């Protein structure tokens, strides 16, 4: 009699345990599906992400709801789909973030508990995700291609140039058909301008590989001019997202030529007028939320030596008449004015290697050679200064910049 009286409660407890375990497993499977929907519905190049990139302001992203529901159900088998009583997906753009929320309801059918009139148990679940939309960035690359960039790129290249031509610099002197620059090319010596050219090509490859959406990155390339006769800011290619085209155009960047040795008293690296023209070309940076309002970064790629006309009171180092050879003078340069527009400056310093056997270097450059990198760093925005050597490349510079553009999808709750 005692056993008979206790049988019904025991069956109830057993049924509760069995049905609870079954319901928990079902809810877990639905939770996995909800997590997948919350993430995938706002992922890179998802319909919602692509639609959000075109939105002028905040709001619900309609493409995300249908896509999220489809993802949710595609992760369930037929029996689990039949158990779902409700599912809602909301995808919303808030600032430069996509936020998703998936809510679901499910009825788990009971077995032993049905004896007691409990045919099903209802449960709810929720998942949410957040994704930082791709930042749109315009990269403006100003390449110092002035004669000093014709120095040998490495100590070995300098030794070759000195042995073959008697000078560490491969001057592109148009008055001499067999000038040092052509000789350097013929026996395979690399010059600083070659290192810079390779660095720019690497930047286009990195940008192309990391582009999440169309037109996310655009790139423009500029130099100090083709020849000393017409020196001044020259646009090699205006900003475009066609990285192959940028790479092809940049590949043609070469050392500035001079009409004859000693032309214009060798004053051919005018940072101030060139940067001033660059500043005039650049409009204020945007928030990076769309291709119409991109963030902007100016890459200044140089050995850091200004060599141009400066009034008697304007040179930070000793003058040769009115010729000023000195590190870039941040106090007089336009760096601050460019940064005031919200534009970041990434200064890539192409290491000025010592030339101990060169009299000009010993007299004029050696006294301040150790300051060159520091002055370039002063011009740069915080954290965006890099020293580029031929053996190291600019991979670290690429990664640091692109980490600020790339975002990952992660669960927020």
The residues spanned by each domain of the chain are 2-132, 137-407
Closest listed residue to residue 145, CA positions, set 46, 37, 231, 48: 231
**pLDDT tens digit string along 77-93?**
998 898 899 999 999 99
CATH 3.40.50.410 fits 137-407, yes or no: yes
Sheet containing strand 137-143, edge to edge, reads 234-240, 217-223, 137-143, 295-302, 344-350, 385-388
Phi and psi at residue 245, to the nearest 5°: -65, -40
Alpha helix (H) residue ranges in 233-333:
243-250, 271-281
What separation, in Å, do the N-terminal and C-terminal C-alpha atoms of the chain show?
53
Output 380-384 pairs: Cβ under 8 A, ≥24 positions apart. 380/300, 380/335, 380/345, 380/346, 380/347, 381/339, 381/344, 381/345, 381/346, 384/297, 384/344, 384/345, 384/346, 384/347
* Res 3: pLDDT: 42
Distance CA 68, CA 100 (A): 9
DSSP 8-state symbol, 364: I
**pLDDT tens digit string along 194-223?**
888 888 888 888 888 888 777 889 999 999
* Res 5: pLDDT: 45
Question: What sign has the CA pseudo-torsion 16, 21, 24, 25?
Answer: negative
Indicate yes or no: pTM above 0.75. no
CA of 308: how far to CAs of 143, 260, 288, 379, 396, in Å?
17, 17, 36, 18, 32
DSSP 8-state symbol, 331: T
Averaged pLDDT in 10-residue chunks for the chain of 413 residues: 48 52 83 92 85 84 93 92 92 88 86 52 88 84 90 84 83 80 84 84 85 86 91 94 94 88 81 89 88 89 84 77 84 85 88 83 90 92 79 63 52 53
Distance CA 190, CA 303 (A): 15
**pLDDT tens digit string along 323-361?**
888 898 876 678 999 999 999 998 888 888 788 888 888
The pair of three-digit structure tokens given for residue 146, joined into one six-digit string: 């002035």
């Amino acid at each position: 009699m005692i056993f008979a009286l206790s049988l019904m409660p025991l069956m109830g407890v057993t049924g509760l345990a069995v049905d609870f375990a079954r319901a928990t497993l079902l809810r877990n499977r639905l939770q996995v599906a909800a997590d997948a929907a919350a993430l995938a519905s706002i992922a890179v190049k998802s319909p919602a992400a692509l639609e959000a990139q075109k939105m002028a302001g905040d709001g619900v992203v309609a493409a995300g709801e249908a896509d999220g529901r489809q993802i949710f159900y595609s992760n369930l088998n037929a029996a689990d789909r039949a158990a779902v009583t409700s599912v809602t997906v909301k995808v919303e753009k808030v600032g430069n973030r996509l936020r998703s929320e998936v809510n679901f309801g499910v009825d788990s059918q009971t077995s032993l508990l049905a004896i007691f009139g409990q045919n099903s148990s209802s449960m709810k679940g929720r998942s949410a995700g957040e994704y930082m939309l791709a930042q749109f960035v315009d990269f403006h690359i100003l390449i110092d291609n002035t004669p000093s960039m014709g120095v040998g790129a490495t100590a070995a290249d300098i030794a070759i140039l000195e042995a073959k031509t008697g000078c560490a610099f491969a001057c592109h002197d148009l008055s001499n058909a067999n000038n040092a620059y052509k000789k350097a090319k013929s026996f395979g010596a690399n010059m600083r301008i070659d290192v810079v050219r390779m660095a720019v090509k690497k930047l286009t490859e990195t940008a192309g590989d990391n582009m999440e959406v169309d037109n996310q990155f655009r790139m423009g390339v500029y130099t100090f001019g083709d020849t000393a006769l017409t020196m001044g800011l020259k646009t090699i290619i205006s900003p475009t997202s066609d990285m192959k085209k940028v790479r092809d155009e940049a590949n043609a960047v070469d050392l500035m030529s001079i009409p004859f040795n000693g032309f214009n008293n060798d004053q051919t690296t005018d940072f101030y007028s060139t940067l001033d023209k660059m500043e005039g070309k650049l409009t204020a940076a945007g928030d990076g939320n769309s291709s119409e309002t991109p963030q902007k970064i100016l890459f200044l790629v140089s050995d850091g030596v200004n060599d141009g006309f400066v009034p008697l009171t304007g040179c930070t180092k000793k003058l040769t008449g009115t010729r000023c050879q000195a590190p870039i003078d941040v106090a007089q340069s336009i760096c601050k004015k460019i940064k005031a527009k919200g534009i970041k400056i990434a200064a890539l310093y192409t290491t000025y290697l010592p030339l101990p056997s060169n009299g000009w270097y010993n007299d004029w450059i050696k006294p301040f050679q150790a300051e060159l990198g520091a002055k370039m760093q002063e011009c740069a925005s915080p954290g965006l200064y890099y020293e580029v050597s031929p053996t190291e490349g600019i991979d670290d510079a690429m990664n640091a910049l692109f980490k600020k553009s790339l975002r990952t999808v992660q669960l927020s709750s």
